[in-house]
Structures are given as structure tokens and as C-alpha cells.
A and B are shown apart, each in its own frame.
Chain A
Amino acid sequence: MISGTVIVGTGQAGFQTAASLRTEGYQEEITLIGEEPHIPYQRPPLSKSFPLGAQEVESIELRPKRFYQDHQINLLVGERVSAIDRAAKQVKLESGAHYQYDKLVLAVGARNRTLSISGADFDEVLYLRSLNEAVIVKERLNIAQEIAVIGGGFIGLELAAVASTLGKSVTVLEALPRLMSRAVAPVISDFYRELHTSKGVKVVCGASVRKIEGSSGKVRGVLLNDGTRLPAELVLIGVGVTPNIELAQNAGLHTANGIAVNEYLQTDDENIFAIGDCAEHPCEFASARIRLESVQNAADQAQCVAATIAGRRNVYRALPWFWSDQFEVKLQMAGISNGHDCTVSRGNAEGRKVSVFYFKESQLIAIDSINRPLDHMIGRKLIANRIRLTPQQAADESVDLKQMANSSVTSRG
């Protein structure tokens, strides 16, 4: 029986694996299987431009339908993989079909963490991850006037910005003392609190949500543990995700905070890879095993695995980068700032142009930039190539970062 590569998951990582395998000259069969009913599409616009009405569904498709035929990619949508039989090298579908593989790529993503508070089951309490969910969010956003967003991370804040732009009255409820606190430094959190507040969004940090209140099947508001009542007809929840590890777990593969993989993105079965949001991988830029949820991580890991499968075994070592669009401001992030022991700013937050440079043991490890795109792009080179840069130089705008990035002296030697 003909086998080839089976890819489970039609998100950015699954799509890119299939596309890159063909670019790499891979000649065997490629089968790309996804649960969602849609052909692969981009997820980032779902919390940004898509609900604003700026984009049609077709415009967020990663490639038109024809692409899969043209590149001999067997695309199966609306199909759920129920089990992996490692001994037989087969995946089994819920529909009863099974597919043989030489190499299996798990790009199974993550699902939203849900809140188990009272009232979380009202129809007007929504989560956002898939296109189908985005279509509903968009529809309800147009109807509701008062909106509560639970979670002041990227998704919550992007949705808050969209709702506010649509003229809605918006409250953001964040449990921690500041916004996006797991990802960015206080100066960035403060900037975004100020930005949202200036647009009329009410931001409540340290908010502990007791319940979502309603009557006659309709949401009326959110009650906090301190007794505060916030009126809302629609509640949007963005409190993080849980990686989809069950398929791997049930196949006896090692899992932790994600499906565990080595530096080649291989699980403990050498014929099975895991990439994207579901994969816990060693990251040299974090000096730790981490799991990332981003387009960059999905696309670069896919490219790496495609090369390996095509015969060019490849260690994964791409620099992580991220972005977030809120109102007219783009936040660009390079590197992993966890564990930093020093930060300095370049530019100033009042002028709405600022970058924060994060250092750990005198090594630049990450940069977050607001309206300073050159800092971000040059920063990627500085971090990836471990260019020696002191905090003093980073803060000094007369220091030409571009020149430093193009110099060959690195602290790695």
C-alpha cells in the first residue's frame, strides 16, 4: 500500500508542512487531515481585521482550493482522527477510514481553556479560536452594545479593540495586576492600558470574576468577587489554551505541556513529529522546553520538519517572533523574554514609539516594539546572532543598531 506523509491538523503548521514538502521536492503521497470544515485559513485575522468586516472568508484562506490539487496534496476536511496505530503505522479516522504513513506529523493545535463559573453556558458567552467561532463572534458583536471581555491577553485585548472600534461599550477584566503580563514588561502593559482607556475601553486589572449573570436565557452582566457588577449583553472569553495532546498520549507518546519533541521536532517515535501550538520543544532562545502559539512557530517548525522528511535532517532553531494589532498600534515582539533580569527602553512611550530590550545575564534575549518596526526587524538579527549589545547601547538612540547587527562580532565567538 502507498503511504507517504500524513499530516493531522489543517492549521498554519499542517498547511505549511504540506506546502513545504512539495517545495523540498518530496515525491511521495501527502495527506492533510483536519477536523474543521474549511480548507486551511489564517487564524490571526480572526481577532483582528475579520470581525471588523474588512475581510471575506475567501480572503483569509491560506491558498485557494486549487492549490491542493495542483500540488497533489490529498486534503480531507471535516474528518477527525481518532487514533494512531504505531505498530501498523496507520491513523484511524472517526468516519472509519484509515491511512497508512511512513511519516506522521501531528499539527493538532490547541483548544480554548474554558471557564467553569456560573453562567458560562449562556449563548452570549463566546470563545474564539476557529473560523466558525469567528463568524458567530462577528455576528453577535454587531448586535450587542455592552460587551465584557474576560482575559487581558492578546486575544482578549484584540477583541476589545475591535469591539470598541465598532462603537461598543467595552470592559476588559484581567485577573492579574497588569495586561499581557506573561508576555511583556510593565512599560508595555501600561502603554496598552492607557491606549485602551483613551479609546473608551474600561480596563479592570486584578479582577476576580465570580459569575456571569443573566435572566430569561440572556446575559445581563458580570459579577466580580468584590461585589462589582458590570453590565454586559455579550461576554467574550480569552483565557488561554490547552494543547491537544490526547491523540499522542493515547498512542503512548511522551507528553508534558504539549506533545514532547526533541530538537528535530520528533516525538519518542522517530516516525512521528509534532509541531505548532501542540508541541513542547527545546528552544535555545528560551534555554528551556517551551510551547509557543504563533504563526512564526507554526510555519518555521513546519518548514523544518518538511526538510527532515524530504531527506535534509534539520535541527529547529528559528527565532520566535510575534505580533498583536490593537487599534492602530502594532506590537512586534522578538525573542523570549522569560527570565530576564534587566530591561531598558529605547524611544519613549509618551511619544507612542518605544522598544523594550530584555537582557538576561547581560545577553539580549528579547525586544518588544511599539511603532518602531526597524528595532524589531534589526532586533531579530541581534538576538538570533547573539550580537553583543549592552543595555546602555540599547537605550542610546545614537547607537546604530543596524550597523551592529551587520557586524560579525558575536558574544558566542
Chain B
Amino acid sequence: MPKVVYVSPAGDTREIDVPAGMTVMAAALKNGIDGIVAECGGVCMCSTCHVFVDHQFFDRLPSAQDTEEAVLEIAAVERQPTSRLSCQIKVTDDLDGLIVRIPEKQR
């Protein structure tokens, strides 16, 4: 099963086994990762599941759609070049080891 590494704002890491097909957001909620709020439930209406994707993985993700790009404009912590909404990242075997950093705040 692919692994996803969540890095907290303080730098603590947690490695979670995530079934392929599940989103990085859903896996975070399921495993009690703090800092992923997911207020709208994963429909690109809020920015509360914002993450910074590690550079080595960013280019391997399918590009963000217009709806996601728009939401990143209102993120509570300003977007960076590797910002994504974790509700839009589906875990695949190819993404094994994916590292995402959680911003200081989500609202």
C-alpha cells in the first residue's frame, strides 16, 4: 500500500499507509492528522485542506483544475508554487512516499 508522509507545521512527521484511490485529505481525516479541516467535504469550495507538496512529487501529480486553482487564491496561508488542495490528490502506487506539509493555519 502506498505511504503518505504528513509533516506538521512544527516539523513532526507521520507516515500513513493509504489505499490507492483515496485522497490525501480523506486519509488525513481517517487517521487523525491535525491541520486538515476539509470544511466543504472535498468539493473545492473552501481552502481548509491546503497542503504544500514536496518538490520531488509535485510534478508527478496531475495538474490542478480551474476550480482548485481558484480556491488556492483564498488559502489562509498564502499559496506557494507547490500548493495543492489535498482533497484533489488521489493517492496512487506511483506516489508512494508522497510528502505533504501542512500550513500553519487553514482558516
Instruction: Show the binding face of A for B, using Cβ within 8 Å.
Output: 16, 42, 44-45, 59-60, 63-64, 66-67, 70, 295-296, 299, 303, 321, 323, 325, 330, 332, 373-374, 376-378, 380-381, 402
- Check if B43 sits within 8 Å of A323, measured CB to CB: yes
Chain B residues closer than 8 Å to A378, beta-carbon distance: 70, 73
In the assembly, what is the distance between CA of A60 and CA of B73, in Å? 26
Chain B residues closer than 8 Å to A296, beta-carbon distance: 39, 46
Chain B residues closer than 8 Å to A402, beta-carbon distance: 73
Q: In this complex, what residue of A is CB-closest to B107?
A: A303
Chain B residues closer than 8 Å to A66, beta-carbon distance: 32
In the assembly, what is the distance between CA of A56 and CA of B92, in Å? 21
In the assembly, what is the distance between CA of A42 and CA of B25, in Å? 15
- Check if A321 sits within 8 Å of B41, measured CB to CB: no
Known A-B contacts A299-B39, A303-B107; A332 and B69 likewise in contact (beta carbons under 8 Å): no
Q: Does B7 contact A (CB under 8 A)?
A: no
Instruction: Show the binding face of B for A, using Cβ within 8 Å.
Output: 26, 29-30, 32, 39-41, 43-46, 66-67, 69-71, 73-74, 107
Chain A residues closer than 8 Å to B107, beta-carbon distance: 303
- Check if A381 sits within 8 Å of B32, measured CB to CB: no
Chain B residues closer than 8 Å to A381, beta-carbon distance: 74
* In-complex Cβ contact of A374 among B26, B30, B66 (8 A): B66
Chain B residues closer than 8 Å to A380, beta-carbon distance: 74
Q: In this complex, what residue of A is CB-closest to B105?
A: A23
- Check if A373 sits within 8 Å of B74, measured CB to CB: no
Chain A residues closer than 8 Å to B30, beta-carbon distance: 64
- Check if B39 sits within 8 Å of A376, measured CB to CB: no
In the assembly, what is the distance between CA of A330 and CA of B71, in Å? 14
- Check if A295 sits within 8 Å of B40, measured CB to CB: yes
Which of B39, B74, B107 is most buried by chain A, counting CB atoms within 10 A of its CB? B39
- Check if B32 sits within 8 Å of A376, measured CB to CB: no
* In-complex Cβ contact of B43 among A16, A44, A64, A67 (8 A): A44
- Check if A295 sits within 8 Å of B39, measured CB to CB: yes
Question: Measured between C-beta atoms, what is the minimum distance from B70 to chain A in Å?
Answer: 4
Chain A residues closer than 8 Å to B74, beta-carbon distance: 377, 380-381
Chain A residues closer than 8 Å to B45, beta-carbon distance: 295, 321, 323, 332
